[in-house]
Amino acid sequence: MGDEPAIWTRGLRKTYRSFTMREVVAVQGLDLRVPAGGVHAFLGPNGAGKTTTIRMLLGMVRPDAGEIRLLGHALPQGLEPALRHVGAVVEQPTFYPHFSGRENLMLLAVAAGVPASKVDAVLDQVGLAGRGRDRFRKYSLGMRQRLAIAATLLRDPQLVILDEPTNGLDPAGIHDVRELMRSLADQGRTVLVSSHALAEVEQVADTVSIVVRGALVAEGRVADLLGERSGTTVRVRVDETDDAAAVLRRTGWTVRDDANHLVVDGAPSAAEVNRSLVASGIYAHELSLVRPDLEAVFLDLTREVAS
């Protein structure tokens, strides 16, 4: 595919209208670029338009405006050839409750022209080989998520779209999904994962897009996003907190108390903070650079947009 992104949207917009003609703008002018290969996190608070965006990518919801390219195919004309290489779970895993997990996958496999052996293989891949013949309605939420992920893998997709895939999973299940996403990406596939479990995503995502109120507020490599906001906050533990705070404030930095520590914002580096303290005869017991995690970045960005 070269430099062609796996997903590209421009000016994507969707407004829902109720029976009373009340309008809710779910997505407004979203420009999204998901590079081919790797895990791309699609983040945003509830109601940010993530699921609506995914539905538009899959042709389930018709955009009011904007353009979509999926695996190089312009939608909606290229929907069918594009989706041949896409596996997706949208919101909650939905299957026929009275059929077994295996039978549910068999139906999808028959429609997709996938051999039955592949069904057993993907069930095994997600750890459901022993429960494939149980009815779907008897599955726990975690098992349902696994079955949905298995369904996405039936066609050896180039692009896997997972909407909140760790919902309901226990820690081992979350770990398994993370490993699965990583292994899919390592095989050269693209994984788009929307999730509110930011810590989970941070461990596995290569790139990220953050949407708030239906619009993109940040995107890029996770390391870059974190890097942009790191190095400005230093956490210090000293005996003479009042004196230390006065010294640091005199240099023009912002200082606040946090339990037994001082948190310094605006310093160029931890070394500069240490140098200032030592120059005043104050020695730190502990000095650490506070690296924001993805959650902190996410919260900062959403607060900025909200304000």
Does position 141 bind another protein by CB under 8 A?
no
Does position 99 bind another protein by CB under 8 A?
yes
CB of 62 to another protein, least distance (A): 6
CB of 72 to another protein, least distance (A): 16
The DSSP line for 227-294 is HHT-SSEEEEE-S-HHHHHHHHHHTT-EEEEETTEEEEES-S-HHHHHHHHHHTT---SEEEE----H
Q: Which of the ranges 58-66, 197-205, 241-249, 258-266 carries the binding residues for another protein, by CB under 8 A? A: 58-66
Q: Which of the ranges 102-110, 124-132, 201-209, 259-267 carries the binding residues for another protein, by CB under 8 A? A: 102-110
* Closer of 113 and 130 to another protein (Cβ): 113
Tokens of residue 102, six digits: 């295996």
The DSSP line for 122-135 is HHHHTT-GGGTTSB
Q: Which of the ranges 86-94, 230-238, 241-249, 296-304 carries the binding residues for another protein, by CB under 8 A? A: 86-94
How far apart, in whole angstroms, are the C-alpha atoms of residue 293 and residue 271?
Answer: 22
CB of 85 to another protein, least distance (A): 11
How far apart, in whole angstroms, are the C-alpha atoms of residue 221 and residue 42?
Answer: 12
Does position 279 bind another protein by CB under 8 A?
no
CB of 13 to another protein, least distance (A): 14
Does position 25 bind another protein by CB under 8 A?
no
Q: Are strands 190-194 and 38-43 parallel, antiparallel or unpaired?
A: parallel
How far apart, in whole angstroms, are the C-alpha atoms of residue 295 and residue 307?
Answer: 18
Does position 110 bind another protein by CB under 8 A?
yes
Tokens of residue 27, six digits: 């997505």
